[in-house]
Amino acid sequence: MREPRVTRLVITALIAACPFVTAAAQTLSPYAPLTIPLNIEQVPGNSIWYSTGNPGIPGKENEGNTSNAGFVVTSDGVVVFDALGTPSLGWALLEQIRKITDKNIRYVVASHYHADHIYGLQAFRDHTSAIIVAQERSGEYKDNEHTADERANQRLDQRRTALFPWVDGNTRVVPPDITFKERMTITIGERRLTLLYAGPAHSSSDMMMMVEPDGVLFAGDIVQNGRIPFMNSDDVSTMQWLQALDEVARLDPKYIIPGHGRTSTRASQAIAFTRDYIQYVRNTMATAVQNWTDFDVAYEQADWSKYREMPAFASNNRGNAYRIYLELERSRFKADKP
């Protein structure tokens, strides 16, 4: 224990002696520091905290902080759900946990492997002994560049520019230590955490985590509020996504922390936006597929006024509509086969 203390004293002395105090202080943080602090709140009456990201897509103006994450503090350690979209954000989350408890961080659960939720895993891998858990199809994220639902290397290159300096040449995708197929239970302290596979819906590896006896559900990107969800990838199944939303309703949690957007105390309210949006795009595109209308024409003719002003509409809506058009065309083709 002596050595780190000596090192810290030396660093403190260096900072004091150095005219460029800010630059010296920054070396204390292992990643590029953030200027916007995390927005951390507590689930009322429970030892569960969460960070709410900004609406819209990851960019310099929000420092990549667009997704939600959270953590459960038990008598036997901490379980983290999602790690945010840059190593700097992961580090900030870790610092927030340290302000609340000095208990070991035992597990970090990844809701699914998409950049905006997993680049922060690097901070947990490098600075804690936490076990990283994900659904088994998360392995496809790196292993298969052609079928993975987000081209991992391409995405990392894009983020190294879009989110520099928070994502840089040292940023890497950290794989899980443990994976599960359908369901996994973590019993820790006085809590039972049930991890439930809910994909392929928004991505191939979507999962949700139910915390009992609290009745708090971390829903990942199955539930998104207040912005147009991203659906433009090979593995999106809006059919399965609607079923996963039904599962949320069946679980009937007291409190829902979605992957993006505000929390909710009523399941029906939490799932309404995502379900209405998926159903609206499906209905609109179903008519086009039935009438053999060309996608571009169908898209131009559709009435998007209900969603046009929402965050991420410009970046996500057209691609989403196209994916759903293809999904419906595929299912029609299957149904037509003798």
Stretch that binds Zn ion, among 25-33, 114-122, 140-148, 233-241 (CB under 5 A): 114-122
Rounded CA Rg of the chain: 21
Q: Return the SS3 of 65.
A: coil
**Closest CB to Zn ion among residues 70, 259:** 259
For residue 155, the minimal CB distance to Zn ion (Å) is 12
Stretch that binds Zn ion, among 8-16, 72-80, 205-213, 218-226 (CB under 5 A): 218-226
**Omega before 175 within 30 of 0, i.e. cis:** no
Are the C-beta atoms of 50 and 68 separated by less than 8 Å? yes
**Closest CB to Zn ion among residues 67, 88:** 67
- Using alpha carbons, list the distances in angstroms from residue 64 to 4, 31, 56, 57, 271: 31, 14, 10, 8, 25
How many Å separate Cα 73 from the centre of its chain? 20
Stretch that binds Zn ion, among 8-16, 113-121, 176-184, 204-212 (CB under 5 A): 113-121
Q: Binding pattern to Zn ion, positions 124-163, x when CB under 5 A?
A: ----------------------------------------
Touching Zn ion, residues 288-327 (CB under 5 A): none
- Using alpha carbons, list the distances in angstroms from residue 236 to 153, 181, 240, 326: 19, 18, 8, 11
Q: In the set 221, 235, 241, 267, which binds Zn ion (CB under 5 A)?
A: 221
**Closest CB to Zn ion among residues 90, 259:** 259
Is residue 63 within the footprint of Zn ion (CB under 5 A)?
no
Q: In the set 116, 149, 150, 214, which binds Zn ion (CB under 5 A)?
A: 116
Q: What is the dihedral of CA 152, 155, 156, 159, to 10 degrees?
A: -160
Dist CA 286 CA 338 (whole Å): 21
Q: Residues in the site for Zn ion, rule: CB under 5 A?
A: 67, 116, 221, 259
